[in-house]
Amino acid sequence: MKIRRHINNYNFIASQETGMTFRWGETFDDNPLYAPVPELADISISNHCTKKCSFCYRDSNPNNSFISVSDYKYILDSLNHPLYGNVFQVAIGGGEPLEHPDFLELIRLTREYNIVPNFTTNGEHLSDEIADVIKSEIGAVAVSVIDFNNFPNTEIGILIKNGIRTNIHFVLDSNSLSQAVKILQGQYNSKLNGINAIIFLTFKPSGRGDSNFALVHNKEMKQFIELIDANNCLCNIGFDACFVPLLMSQTSTKKNFIDSCEVGCFSVYIDENLNVSPCSFSNGKDVFNLKEFDFYDIWMNKFSDFRSESKNQCKQSCSSIGECKGQCYYYPEITLCYKEV
């Protein structure tokens, strides 16, 4: 199934089969300011997680804070624009999604709305039974890997053998950077057969995340950046939007292949309590509840100040200033592109 939207200066084509998307503005060289309908909704279905990782950005605990099926359906109904349709895909997170008692029902419900569901998991609860149910429903699964020396081979193997597109999420912080260098050097390639991509996520000092773990521009960081252009990793590699300033300024990655931060413009975050914000890292800012406001009032009106204030205000002399949004709006301290080694 393909989605086509041509609304004023916003044009969007997406394929549910491949996950490929193509967006342009008035011309193919233009990127619209924002979408009339979000392309992606990042939905937290729970803040419940039994793993209790020390760096958890949401401070998740085994607290039984699960979204109800009716509230999840309310979100999907709210996202459905009366003229332009619904979001293209959702990224389901938490907490740990697989610990939600109605997880499989939420996946099926998402597909009933002709929305592509994806989810992120620590992998501990993956099973052949779950994989068999979701393999015809899911777009992709991202498995969070903390340590490649304790790689979840069995759990990831379940996804791969069931033909489920599988990515790895790996958080880049001051402790994990040495292992990230080894990943790009190809030292862990034996573990990566069948993996679609490793997505490196920039550490943010949110929740239980200690600011002492934030990346700094040192020799090890310089080595990692240099390896991006000459990496020997077996699978594809990708980065979150917070890493984009570094990619644009210090690597040879083609700018046409890089998306700057899209929160509040092309994507939206909704938590298990129906709180809507531009980003999962908004840290209590720019938050509006779906029980108090219509979603498209939030999207079109309430987010207008955020869109205006988060425009690129970077003062650096850089050839990428037209494409890059500069520092992270909510955590400017994690932006490293203009800091000295």
Decide if 340 is inside a domain. no
Nearest CA among 219, 246, 241 for reference residue 318: 246
The verdict on residue 28 lying in a domain is no
Q: Is 242 helix (H, G, I), strand (E, B) or coil?
A: helix
In a domain? residue 298: no
pTM beyond 0.85: the answer is yes
**Both structure tokens of 215:** 């990346």
Residue 223, CA distances (Å) to 85, 86, 197, 217 in order:
45, 43, 21, 10
CA distance 141 to 322: 33
Please calculate the CA angle 27-33-36 and round it to the nearest 5 degrees: 95
Q: Residue 246 is part of which domain span?
A: 38-284+310-334
Residue 42 and residue 137: Cα distance in Å, rounded? 17
Residue 327 covered by a domain: yes
How far apart CA 155 and CA 122 sit, in angstroms, is: 9
Query: Which phi and psi (to 5°) does residue 5 adopt?
Result: -135, 125
- 220 within a domain of the structure (yes/no): yes
CA separation for the pair 304, 126 (Å, rounded): 40
Please, what's the b/e burial string for 29-57 (b: 16 or more CB within 10 A of its CB; e: otherwise)?
eebbebbbbbbbbbbbbbbbbeeeeebbb
CATH number, domain of 190, equals 3.20.20.70
Residue 241, domain member (yes or no): yes
In a domain, 11, yes or no: no
User: In the chain, how many domains are there?
Assistant: 1
Please list the pLDDT of the chain residue by residue as tens digits (341 residues): 678 899 989 999 998 887 889 999 999 888 899 999 999 999 999 999 988 887 888 888 888 889 999 999 999 999 999 999 999 999 999 899 999 999 999 999 999 999 999 999 999 999 999 999 999 999 999 999 999 999 999 999 999 999 999 999 999 999 999 999 999 999 999 999 999 999 999 999 888 888 888 888 889 999 999 999 999 999 999 999 888 888 888 888 877 777 788 999 999 999 999 999 999 999 889 999 999 999 999 999 999 999 988 877 676 777 777 677 777 888 888 887 765 44
CB 99 within 8 A of CB 47: no
H or E stretch covering 307: helix 304-309
Whether residue 295 lies inside any domain: the answer is no
